[in-house]
Structure 1
Amino acid sequence: MKNLTIKAGNCNHRRYLPRLLDLVVTGVVDPTAFIIQHEKPTAAIEAYETFDRREEGWLKTVLDLA
């Protein structure tokens, strides 16, 4: 026992999501502008691992199924 405390949290989605959806619906914000990586489904695990390591250039990723 090392007297360590680990805390984790999440953002307050319920507070921000309605306003963000309004911005998308009215066209003020285009969420596709944040998608900077397109990967094939066969590369999904590697893509998520790279995103999880917060490597540069990995803000949002889309798995292209077609």
Structure 2
Amino acid sequence: MEAYVMRCLTLAPLLLALAALGGCGRTAEEQLAYQHAEEQYQFNMRQSERYRQTADENSDQDSQNRQQESRRQ
């Protein structure tokens, strides 16, 4: 049993190295899907930032309008 464990521990780094060098690349379809996902993420981030800026501007404008109306009364 002990010899089996030692053999497994000896082979583990070799198997990991083979896996890293061998079949871990992406296919063309996977690369395209990854690229699309990255582009979509960037687009969503830009849209989210624009939305936040617009919401902040609208909130500021609403506050200013309320202050002006309260001064008139």
* TM-score category (smaller protein): under 0.3
TM-score, length of structure 1 as denominator length: 0.25
| Structure with the higher helix share, 1 or 2 | 2
| Structure with the higher strand share, 1 or 2 | 1
TM-score, length of structure 2 as denominator length: 0.24
The answer to which structure, 1 or 2, has the higher relative contact order (CA under 8 A, 6+ apart) is 1
Structure (1 or 2) with the larger CA radius of gyration: 2
